């Protein structure tokens, strides 16, 4: 039997309401902290009130599932802005019990990334890089392999300075800016040129992925290919 769900989040951002609106309602803005995707269609939104209120609902799937996303933007004294976000909807029978928990943690990370963008890279155009590992990386034991491939022997702590050394790619020097609860398969590093994110998705039966936000000019296709080649090299095909 399907079920309703609702996730509520709130984050204070070092930005104006217009800057926050641009980050959630434009393609370049979303690429700076979330993913590369088309901007919301104002005509298809339930609410389109820049720069204060945005509400979007996806079409229902064959099983009745749908998702609704609401953003409320409020200016605060001192020049900051509070973003209140609600992700709600209906999940069909095929959606696993772990969906809400993992999605909630995912939004925590993405909203933190938005805050980091405004704090350290505001106004700089971003290139979103993404790649996935092979099927072999969808197993729980694959995460330590990724860490060793980055030159790490363990999950680093929040605030720890690290130097990542993926073979065939430029080293990344920076600070760990986000950690999950112990045992979480996620690594987030803020470097001088971008926000680097490594996602372990074994709990969903999905391969490890990277989703980096780079704030310097880069050839997206070549960089995506290089990261994919590196990931696949960590997990050789079993003959």
Domains of the chain, by residue range, sit at 3-120, 127-234
**Are the CB atoms for 109 and 176 separated by under 8 Å?**
no
3-120 and 127-234, same CATH topology? yes
127-234 is a CATH 3.30.530 domain: yes
Select 3-120's CATH number: 3.30.1490.190, 1.10.3720.10, 3.30.530.20, 3.20.20.70. 3.30.530.20
Q: How far apart are CA 133 and CA 227, in angstroms?
A: 9
- Whole-prediction pTM value? 0.94
Q: What is the pLDDT along the chain (239 residues), one digit of tens a residue?
A: 789 999 999 999 999 999 999 999 999 999 999 998 889 988 989 999 999 999 999 999 998 999 999 999 999 998 999 999 999 999 988 787 778 888 898 899 999 999 999 999 999 999 999 999 999 999 999 999 999 999 999 999 999 999 999 999 999 999 999 998 655 689 999 999 999 999 999 988 899 999 999 999 999 999 999 999 999 999 987 54
Which residue is listed with tokens 């060793």? 148
Q: Map residue 205 onto helix, strand or coil.
A: coil
Instruction: List the 3-13 sheet strands across, edge first.
Output: 3-13, 81-91, 66-75, 53-57, 47-49
Structure tokens at 58: 């996806």
């Amino acid at each position: 039997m399907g079920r309703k769900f609702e996730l509520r989040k709130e984050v204070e951002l070092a930005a104006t309401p217009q800057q926050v609106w641009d980050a959630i309602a434009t393609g370049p803005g979303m690429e700076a902290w979330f993913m590369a995707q088309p901007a919301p269609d104002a005509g298809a939104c339930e609410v389109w009130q820049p720069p204060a209120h945005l509400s979007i609902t996806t079409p229902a799937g064959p099983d009745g599932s749908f998702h609704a996303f609401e953003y409320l933007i409020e200016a605060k004294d001192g020049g900051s802005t509070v973003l209140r976000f609600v992700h709600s909807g209906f999940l069909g029978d095929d959606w696993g019990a772990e969906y809400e928990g993992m999605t909630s943690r995912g939004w925590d990370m993405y909203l933190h990334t938005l805050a980091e963008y405004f704090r350290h890279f505001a106004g700089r155009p971003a290139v979103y890089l993404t790649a996935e590992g092979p099927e072999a990386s969808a197993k729980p034991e694959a995460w330590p392999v990724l860490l060793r491939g980055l030159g790490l022997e363990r999950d680093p702590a929040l605030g720890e300075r690290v130097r990542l050394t993926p073979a065939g790619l430029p080293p990344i020097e920076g600070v760990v800016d986000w950690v999950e609860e112990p045992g979480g398969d996620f690594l987030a590093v803020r470097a001088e040129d971008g926000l680097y994110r490594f996602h372990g998705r074994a709990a969903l039966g999905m391969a490890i992925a990277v989703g980096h936000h780079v704030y310097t000019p880069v050839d997206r296709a070549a960089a995506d290919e290089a990261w994919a080649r590196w990931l696949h090299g960590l997990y050789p095909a079993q003959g």
